Amino acid sequence: MIRPRPRIQIAAIAAIGVGAALAYAVPAGAAVAVQSQSPPVQAVKLGSTATLDAKGAVVFAPVSVACRPGSFAYLTVAVTENVGNAIASGQASTSIEQCTGSAQGFKVAVTPTQKPFRTGVAFGSAQLQVCADTCRTVVDQHNIQIVKK
């Protein structure tokens, strides 16, 4: 009489044990690797709402940026909105005098070129160019809501 059953059970238990050990070991190793990485070179995040002011002559778009200390950064924000049968659009740029390595908040004043902005859905884009040894650019763009002050 052949008794392979206990060997199969032992092999199955061993395979489950090895799999469980790997499942616990891999995420811990990944967490250590992520924590040991240096901060990102740059990051930009355009807010989800912009505030309308001066009867549509300007919107204030909130933007959060991060860049390494000692680097030079330049931020450009653009807003485009359909207003009836026309397009209201504008763009504003500013240099970031001092990169701190931490998130810094800005409210960028964007003025339209032809038609005034109004409350409603618009498309916004924030572009951050950071230069130290080399220059790199990151962009965050999505629909934003223009709201009254």
**Which pLDDT tens digits describe the chain residue by residue (149 residues)?**
555 555 544 444 444 444 444 444 444 443 333 333 454 568 999 999 999 999 999 999 999 999 999 899 999 999 999 999 999 999 999 999 888 889 999 999 999 998 999 999 999 999 999 998 889 999 999 999 999 98
- pTM for the structure as a whole: 0.72
Radius of gyration of the chain (CA): 26
Q: Are 124 and 144 in contact (CB under 8 A)?
A: yes
